[in-house]
Amino acid sequence: MNKDAKIYVAGHRGMAGSAIVRNLEEKGYTNIIKRTSNELNLIRQEDVEKFFEDEKPEYVFLAAAKVGGIHANNTYPAEFIYNNLMIESNVIHSAYKSNVKKLLFLGSSCIYPKMASQPIKEEYLLTGALEPTNEAYAIAKISGIELCKFYRKQYGCDFISAMPTNLYGINDNFDLETSHVLPALIRKFHEAKVNNDKNVVMWGTGKPRREFLYVDDLADACVHLMNNYSGEMHVNVGTGEDIEIGELARIIQKVVGFNGEIVNDLSKPDGTPRKLLDVSFLESTGWKYKMELESGIERVYQWYLQYKIS
């Protein structure tokens, strides 16, 4: 991408999209197109087509999505599949119609089978049953990958897909009803500290293992792939390292400075037992993550104190 290329970042206010914008600006890209959901409703096909006709972006980062944790995915599955299918279909089809040079679709590691062998290779996609608690979201994201693949196959579009592991970072969602585990734990430990609570309740056993990637590392990987990769296969983006949720909780407890106990709510679901990505292909292209987990959590907590606490 030339530094003055017209680049549209869909979902620029979200955690991933805002990190992509930051990364592009740091690298000297000067012509970044942004639209809020009030300015452009990506679920409406007519609106999206008109936007692409008027703006004619050369490159597209498709980071817009309806996202959430186990509770949100399990409670609102129809919203998760409908909204994400519509966003992907409208943006990808409009990108094809307006001759976008290249598009990167951002998916999620939940696309893989629940009981996939570990670490998870790209080719494990569609080889087994999905995790039921986020099946709707996963099916929508798989559809986005397939859209990119088939538009490449039929029309020769240079549309690629990146599948990040669990993300965290500034601009994360800290709503306990809809957030993912890491920001939810930051908020729980902080509020327990402020309220002098004796314990913090954590969902499930704490035994599942998860991989966590700092969102600014994801953004750097996306820009790297946009400039260096063109292929049908989606690309895993992660650290290649995982941690038990219980251990994650202890790290967050330490960072926040909460001195009470952690209590497990065994009535709540654990989700997938393990979800570690094989990132050997991405590393073979010359990219590797930089932010270590505890340092990243410290940055997020400082941001949370500054921007989320009134």
CATH number, domain at 93?
3.40.50.720
Catalytic (active site) residue 168: no
pLDDT of residue 292: 98
Whether the per-residue pLDDT at 152 is higher than 50: the answer is yes
Assigned domain for 192 exists: no
Rg (CA), the chain: 19
d(CA 10, CA 65): 9
User: 210 a known binding residue?
Assistant: yes
Dihedral angle of Cα 83, 89, 94, 95, to the nearest 10 degrees: 110
Whether the per-residue pLDDT at 233 is higher than 70: the answer is yes
User: 66 a known binding residue?
Assistant: no
Helices of type H across the chain = 15-26, 45-55, 70-75, 77-97, 135-155, 181-194, 215-228, 245-256, 280-284, 293-307
Q: Whats the size of the chain, residue-wise? A: 310
pTM: 0.93
Rounded to a whole number of angstroms, the distance between the first and last alpha carbons of the chain is 40
Assigned domain for 153 exists: yes
pLDDT of residue 310: 45
The single residue of 137, 151, 289, 304 carrying the catalytic annotation is 137
User: 190 a known binding residue?
Assistant: no
- Where on the phi/psi map is residue 205: left (φ > 0), alpha (ψ -120 to 50), or beta? alpha
d(CA 29, CA 111): 31
Assigned domain for 47 exists: yes
d(CA 302, CA 83): 32
User: 152 a known binding residue?
Assistant: no
68: nearest Cα among 155, 2, 154, 133 = 133
Q: Name the more confident of 117 and 131.
A: 117
pLDDT of residue 185: 94
User: 130 a known binding residue?
Assistant: no
Whether the per-residue pLDDT at 76 is higher than 90: the answer is no
The half-sphere exposure of 206 on its side-chain side, counting CA atoms within 13 A, is 14
CB 59 within 8 A of CB 7: yes
User: 12 a known binding residue?
Assistant: yes
User: 17 a known binding residue?
Assistant: yes
pLDDT of residue 227: 98
**Residue 182: φ, ψ to 5°:** -65, -50
Assigned domain for 305 exists: no
Quick one: average pLDDT of 165-187? 90
Residue in the structure block whose two tokens are 């990505």: 277
Assigned domain for 63 exists: yes
User: 185 a known binding residue?
Assistant: no
Quick one: average pLDDT of 271-298? 95
202: nearest Cα among 168, 250, 144 = 250
DSSP bridge partners of 120? 277
pLDDT of residue 253: 98
Q: Write the pLDDT tens digit of every residue in 23-57.
A: 999 999 999 999 999 999 999 999 999 999 999 99
Quick one: average pLDDT of 112-125? 95
Whether the per-residue pLDDT at 220 is higher than 70: the answer is yes
Whether the per-residue pLDDT at 195 is higher than 60: the answer is yes
Distances (CA, A) of 94 to 72, 86, 269: 29, 12, 39
User: 248 a known binding residue?
Assistant: no
Assigned domain for 254 exists: no
User: What's the structural domain count of the chain?
Assistant: 1
With bands split at pLDDT 50, 70 and 90, how would you rate the model's confidence at 309? low
Assigned domain for 168 exists: yes
pLDDT of residue 67: 80
Assigned domain for 73 exists: yes
With bands split at pLDDT 50, 70 and 90, how would you rate the model's confidence at 294? very high
User: 166 a known binding residue?
Assistant: yes
Whether the per-residue pLDDT at 194 is higher than 80: the answer is yes
The boundaries of the domain holding residue 136 are 7-172+212-239+277-291
